[in-house]
A and B are shown apart, each in its own frame.
Chain A
């Protein structure tokens, strides 16, 4: 079955540590996205990528970094510069060629907490 796989499901970060969240898709989608979700708020865009080896900052990119070396993979690193990383992180992907009638598809998320 095609889909988006995020791992791990739960992650704990020690102070000063960088952690990496994995996102893999086998939908052959061009665009991939990372969102952060905090309680009582909608999703906020961290980074997005529409093509391999290219990515753009979203609205809250500070303290995060990404790479897009392969079409199917878009890992997110939460660096020690992100002082409040506790949140639910969602990865999404979307086809571009088929037009806007195709919505973004989401993974099951990673819940990150501070130790």
Chain B
């Protein structure tokens, strides 16, 4: 059974600092997705990672995938308040017909 673990679950950062969120998963998959959720809102797609070594960047966020280690990272560079949200990683199961989500990382960026 596919399990997805994120850490940390809560992250309080100072503006301007860098940090990394980790997403580990338990079975082989080469399809990983990162989403952002603002409080009380829907999920917004951030990144789609589909192969070993994939790296995607958008603004201050960069995501990578290591399928051999079953690990994805979401790196935040020089955090700003607008990045405060909950970030989820989700992994496609082996049949590619459903996603398994991590518990989410609540990110708070302090001014």
Contact = CB atoms under 8 A, between A and B. Distances in A.
Interface string B63-91: 00000000000000000000000001010
B56 to A, nearest CB: 11
Given A41-B103, A42-B102, A45-B98, A100 B42 contact: no
A109 interface: yes
Mostly, the B contact residues are: strand
B101 A100 contact: no
A100 B96 contact: yes
Contacts of A21: none
B87 to A, nearest CB: 11
B48 interface: yes
B33 interface: yes
Contact of A90 (B9, B42, B96): B42
B84 to A, nearest CB: 17
A92 B88 CA distance: 15
Interface size class of B (residues with CB under 8 A): 20 to 34
Contacts of B97: 31, 48, 50, 56
A108 B42 contact: yes
A100 B31 contact: yes
A103 B45 CA distance: 7
A105 B97 CA distance: 14
A103 B103 contact: no
Contact of A42 (B31, B92, B103): B103
In the A-B complex, the 10 residue pairs with the smallest Cβ-Cβ separation, listed nearest first, are A42-B101, A103-B45, A106-B43, A43-B101, A106-B42, A42-B103, A108-B42, A100-B31, A103-B33, A42-B102
Interface of A: 31, 33, 35, 40-45, 48, 50, 56, 58, 90, 92, 100-109
5 contacts: A43-B43, A90-B42, A92-B43, A100-B48, A104-B45
Given A104-B45, A105-B45, 12 more contacts: A41-B104, A42-B4, A42-B102, A43-B43, A44-B101, A45-B100, A90-B43, A100-B31, A101-B50, A107-B42, A108-B42, A109-B41
